[in-house]
Structure 1
Amino acid sequence: MTGKKVRVLVVDDTVLYRKVISDVLAMIPEVEVVGTANNGKIALAKVEQLTPDLMTLDFEMPVMDGLATLLELKRMKSDVAVIMVSAHTSEGAAVTMKALEHGAFDFIAKPDGASLEKNRQSLLSQLRPVVQTVATRRILRPALTGIPRSVPPVQPVSAASRPATAPVRRQEMPPATSPAASAIRPVLPSGRIAVVAIGISTGGPNALAEVIPRLPKNLRVPVVIVQHMPPVFTKALADSLNQKSAVNVIEAQGEERLEAGNVYIAPGGKQMKVVKKATGEFLQLTDDPPENHCKPAVDYLFRSVSSIYGNRALGVIMTGMGSDGVKGLRLMKQQGSQVIAQDETSCVVFGMPMEAIKAGVADVVVPLHQISAEIVNRVK
């Protein structure tokens, strides 16, 4: 639908927020606001009438709330992309995780500032990239429609033991030939993996819920993750994943020693890096400025991983818009690290992995459902 305006339906029970969100969307050239609704029941009727491409959907509404509306859209097999509008609270973050599991494309946090102009700017900065993604629908992939509550951890397998009849979508990348990519010459061959570093953005909660619960409890390395999310929401993500996983998943607090079998998620609003001390590798949180408009930023984490682990790291770049992570992956590859990229078909947004593949830093490109097995086999 490139070249056509994105048709948006705004759903919120308050007149003020319906107007504010509509006004902000009107500032984006690619958008046409085709209607508003003050509850989910009316919104469902307008979806049928107006055929929007995108819906902003509030959670707390009378008659039919946001989560119930989302579930009904799922039952209807509607292809409207849904952006949940969430309160910046622990309760709002927890229900947001449920909405993402049930097919919401993404979410934005309701600004809690008193200044109307600051609220507008906050909404604009959150909505613009999502709208632009929908406008270039060739890189948009349907969000996953529900995550299994319990999935068995994968076990390492050799290539020889894989069934010969199984379809293999895993793609080994040939040596890069572009001048920029050819300049990435590892100073050392890959060593035994000592850490897994994951960078992910739009579509991340569902994708991580497919990968992390499949990691075995006895995974012999730690996993560090940057997921682009604001404060509070990263804690809800960690809690949600921890309930589903054999490994221990926590939101990083800073100063933790990295332990095998633990998964550490960078908290929203902080930068996270790995530092070396006499007793081992530790996490450190900082208030350093955003990179690539992101805090936490994938590049920030990957840069430290490259510095501390050299050729003993495994980088994983997954679904997300933009190019955050590519610079850090270049440094990791120069040190001899290995890199996995998620494939286009299984990405909600094929942005960050695409840039990594174009830069020639990916060793292998695999679909989402094979990423956990790829990790386990490379760290065994």
Structure 2
Amino acid sequence: MSRVKVLVIDDSAFMRKLISDLLLESPSIDVIGTAKNGKEGIEKIAELDPDVVTLDIEMPVLNGLDTLQIIMDKFPRPVIMLSSSTKEGAENTIKSLAFGAFDFIPKPSGSISLDIFKVKEELIAKVLAAKRAKEKVQMLKKEIDTFPRKEMMKEKSHRQRKKSLIAIGTSTGGPSTLQKIVPCFPKNLNSPIFIVQHMPPGFTKSLAERLNEMSNIEVKEGEHQEIVRNGVAYIAPGGSHMKVIEKQGNLFIELDQSEKKRGHRPSVDVLFESLSNLKYYQTIACILTGMGSDGTKGLKALKERTDATGIAQSEKTSIIFGMPKSAIQANVVDYVEDLMEIPYLIQKLI
């Protein structure tokens, strides 16, 4: 496989050097150029045609968000944002994902991060994944309109006697995917939604706020010991596992900072496994775009212990097909659906 050609855009000469050096530690990556601001970055993209761009959000002359929109309009390709974990940085990061960025890396200690080496493995992995997903980047910046609909199977009559729960797990490509499907749910949705999106602390709150602004239902970060309500989507806070437990006939959110599960906290498996302990509910569990296999083991537990339906996002609409593919190969999925079919199938099933 040819080496991935990367352009690094950052207003700090020090950070440009650090990021370039980290990427060059991978034999599969070639840093073909750097740029000190968005304007110069656009010119370098036109000249060098990189496979992947790393882009700082906070820059003079032309900031990261404006630069990203020009890239996605004129030179669409995978862009990985580098951002601070400040409130403003997190908000702009979520906006960038809506504008079409492939993914993001949080700078460990602000704009000038001497400890950027801490995210080296994550940065390299996302650059390599971005190259593999290059042909799908155009989809990230477009609204998906309609896909051909399939005939749905008639559901078992006993489902009508059970309360419904909706659970969603996603990773790379997830924020833009969630911004397409969560607004499709109606205000009177007779079910809660539990969402695990792989993100570090600080960013999930901004994601929840943006989804809440866009949606008919309420969307919020889950809080420890919070009682669960229908018509509310609860997002697992970055850095915490989210579980759902039953006490005296009510469901409650439970958060903890226990060990990461297969490298993740929050973990989709942890959420799904907690739901597998709820006997008198039917769960519709969805595994969307993302790297790895998080969610497969939890969905298996759900299917073995409860009345659960598994849905996986189709390969053609997944930015990264890793998580859905893992669940499909484990034979724990009932439906494989294009992205914009999923919210309508869920509503039919409940």
Give TM-score scaled by structure 2 length: 0.92
CA–CA distance in structure 2, aligned partners of residues 291 and 48 of structure 1: 42
Identity %: 41
Quick check: 1:11–1:18 contact (8 Å CA) kept in 2?
Answer: yes
Question: Structure 1 residue 72: deviation in Å?
Answer: 1.0
Quick check: 1:171–1:364 contact (8 Å CA) kept in 2?
Answer: no
Match of 1:9 among 7, 10, 17: 7
Quick check: 1:26–1:32 contact (8 Å CA) kept in 2?
Answer: yes
CA–CA distance in structure 2, aligned partners of residues 87 and 170 of structure 1: 46
Question: Structure 1 residue 10: deviation in Å?
Answer: 0.5
Q: Which residue number corresponds to residue 322 of structure 1? A: 292
Question: Structure 1 residue 62: deviation in Å?
Answer: 1.4
**Uncovered stretches (5+) of structure 2, i.e. residues with no partner:** none
Aligned length: 343
Please say if 1:126 is aligned against 2:96: no
Please say if 1:237 is aligned against 2:207: yes
Quick check: 2:109–2:115 contact (8 Å CA) kept in 1?
Answer: no
Q: Which residue number corresponds to residue 92 of structure 1? A: 89
Quick check: 2:77–2:138 contact (8 Å CA) kept in 1?
Answer: no
Matched residue type, 1:216:
P
For residues 56-90 of structure 1, the C-alpha deviation after alignment (integer angstroms, 9 at most, x for no partner) is 000111111111111111221x1321001111111
Quick check: 2:291–2:320 contact (8 Å CA) kept in 1?
Answer: yes
Rate the CA distance shift 1:321–1:141 in 2: closer, same or farther, 3 A: farther
For residues 122-142 of structure 1, the C-alpha deviation after alignment (integer angstroms, 9 at most, x for no partner) is 2x1321221231343489654
Match of 1:110 among 97, 107, 111: 107
* SS of residue in 2 equivalent to 1:4: coil
| Aligned residue runs from structure 1 range 260-279, under 5 A | 260-279=230-249
CA–CA distance in structure 1, aligned partners of residues 292 and 300 of structure 2: 16
Matched residue type, 2:122:
Q
Matched residue type, 2:197:
Q
| Aligned residue runs from structure 1 range 216-255, under 5 A | 216-255=186-225
CA–CA distance in structure 2, aligned partners of residues 137 and 327 of structure 1: 25
Rate the CA distance shift 1:139–1:303 in 2: closer, same or farther, 3 A: farther
| Aligned residue runs from structure 1 range 34-49, under 5 A | 34-49=32-47
Quick check: 1:8–1:32 contact (8 Å CA) kept in 2?
Answer: yes
Rate the CA distance shift 1:169–1:131 in 2: closer, same or farther, 3 A: farther
CA-based RMSD of the aligned residues comes to 2.3
| Aligned residue runs from structure 1 range 201-220, under 5 A | 201-220=171-190
For residues 324-367 of structure 1, the C-alpha deviation after alignment (integer angstroms, 9 at most, x for no partner) is 00000000111231111110111111110011111111100111
* SS of residue in 2 equivalent to 1:80: coil
CA–CA distance in structure 2, aligned partners of residues 279 and 308 of structure 1: 11
Q: Which residue number corresponds to residue 347 of structure 2? A: 376
Q: Which residue number corresponds to residue 136 of structure 1? A: 132
Q: Which residue number corresponds to residue 346 of structure 1? A: 317
CA–CA distance in structure 1, aligned partners of residues 311 and 151 of structure 2: 10
Quick check: 1:257–1:283 contact (8 Å CA) kept in 2?
Answer: yes
Rate the CA distance shift 1:49–1:359 in 2: closer, same or farther, 3 A: same
CA–CA distance in structure 2, aligned partners of residues 219 and 114 of structure 1: 42
